[in-house]
Amino acid sequence: MPNLAQSKIIIDARMLGYSGIGRYLSELLPLLAKHQDFDFHALVTPHDKDLLPGGIKSIVTSIAPYSAQEQSKLKDLIDAQNADLVHFTHINQPFKALKTKRISTIHDLTMIDFPSKHSPSLKSQLKHSALKLGFKSMLKHNSLLLTPTQFVANQLSKRLALKAPVKITPLGGQGHLEEAITFADGEKPFLLYVGNALPHKNVGRIIDAAKSLPDYKFVLAGHDDYGYSKFTQTASNNVMFAGFVSDGKLAWLYQNATALLQPSLSEGFGLTGLEAMAYDCPVISSNATCLPEVYGNAACYFDPNSTDELIDAIRSIEPQRQQLINAGRSQVKKFSWQLCAEQTVAAYRQALVR
């Protein structure tokens, strides 16, 4: 076996400041940095370079995620680094072969399955059409693929002729949120949603349910510019659009919510549900895609295509709330960021000797 000590590994961390994948990176990078037998570098934007943990060197670039420059300039930037391996942490990457070996984390196929619905703008639709066309080409250049769930692994193997092996690396359960900061005392009790409002997130189902549940309050926390604008004018008065909230306020919301609502039509993991469970917040979840795999018996499930089922689930939450809290405490222990990091390092070693 070749000596892998001090192999130079580049991690694509250009989405470090994002939600979702940003959480994945912010939890994973500090743990990877402890493995000093590798020489870690990270592609990072100028805005996020100070977020990198010690032990990981920065490669600062203005090449934005999903930009045309990913295809025209990112390959040359990476090739010039003379690295042994590059880890792309999402599907947006050069479609052509690199001089460097690569592995990729495929969190889900949402952007492939929902290309025309992801954003109403023509520019965004064109970007996602190009992404769909280049996806298969990109995959064939990978030595190894990582997915967070068996569901996503099955999607890949059923729909694509893969040459690279697929390794399942589940994400962690409890993240490192800040100490709770009071958000809004007057909003208790309330039901909580955390995330964006893109179509596959199915936020409209919550908006419809809220109209039939005037005695309940709903707090929706997520960036204002990710699909929420179409709901703000039509939502009932018992819906509060909180916008982006800090980690400290998010911790408070988890701790004080009656339940977290997870109505998604498609997910690759379901991180927010596990984070909620870590704060003793019951989860009312869609029964779609990977969510039952991740949440097990620790969630109250409903059909995401049925507003009536969501309403029934909300009305039934109080009698089973403590049971769900107890089940959630057990479920979240099955997932660990430390284990995710160890499995990722094992993937690096596997890819380097292929």
One domain for residues 316 and 200? yes
CA dihedral 289, 290, 296, 297 (to 10 degrees): -20
One domain for residues 133 and 249? no
Residue 1 lies in a domain: no
Residue 328 lies in a domain: yes
What pLDDT, on the 0 to 100 scale, is given for residue 140?
87
Residue 28 lies in a domain: yes
How many structural domains does the chain have? 2
Interatomic CA distance for residues 214 and 239, integer angstroms: 9
pTM of the model: 0.89
One domain for residues 95 and 19? yes
What pLDDT, on the 0 to 100 scale, is given for residue 20?
82
Residue 177 lies in a domain: no
More confident residue, 114 or 96: 96
Q: Average pLDDT in the 24-32 region?
A: 95
The string of DSSP codes covering 275-323 is: HHHHTT--EEEE-STTHHHHHTTSEEEE-TT-HHHHHHHHHTHHHHHHH
Cα distances (Å, whole numbers) of residue 156 to 101, 146, 159, 323, 348: 20, 11, 5, 35, 20
Residue 178 lies in a domain: no
- Per-residue pLDDT band for 125 (boundaries 50, 70, 90) equals low
Percent of the chain predicted with pLDDT > 90: 69
- Specify the CATH number for the domain of residue 276: 3.40.50.2000
- Per-residue pLDDT band for 116 (boundaries 50, 70, 90) equals very low
Query: Model confidence over 52-111: pLDDT tens digits?
Result: 999 999 999 999 998 889 999 999 999 999 999 999 999 889 999 999 999 999 999 887
One domain for residues 165 and 269? no
* Residue 230 lies in domain: 185-332
Query: Residue 207 pLDDT > 50, yes or no?
Result: yes
One domain for residues 318 and 340? no
Query: Residue 340 pLDDT > 90, yes or no?
Result: yes
Average pLDDT, the chain: 89
Residue 179 lies in a domain: no
Q: Residue 185 corresponds to which tokens in the numbers above?
A: 């005392």
One domain for residues 11 and 157? yes
One domain for residues 189 and 148? no
Are the beta carbons of 271 and 203 closer than 8 angstroms?
no
One domain for residues 83 and 203? no
DSSP 3-state of 347: helix
DSSP 3-state of 332: helix
One domain for residues 315 and 343? no
One domain for residues 26 and 156? yes
Residue 307 lies in a domain: yes
* Nearest Cα to Cα of residue 249 among 299, 185, 206, 189: 185
One domain for residues 59 and 44? yes
Q: Average pLDDT in the 166-175 region?
A: 88
233 DSSP 8-state letter: T
- Per-residue pLDDT band for 236 (boundaries 50, 70, 90) equals very high
What pLDDT, on the 0 to 100 scale, is given for residue 224?
79
Q: Average pLDDT in the 4-27 region?
A: 91
Q: Average pLDDT in the 137-144 region?
A: 88
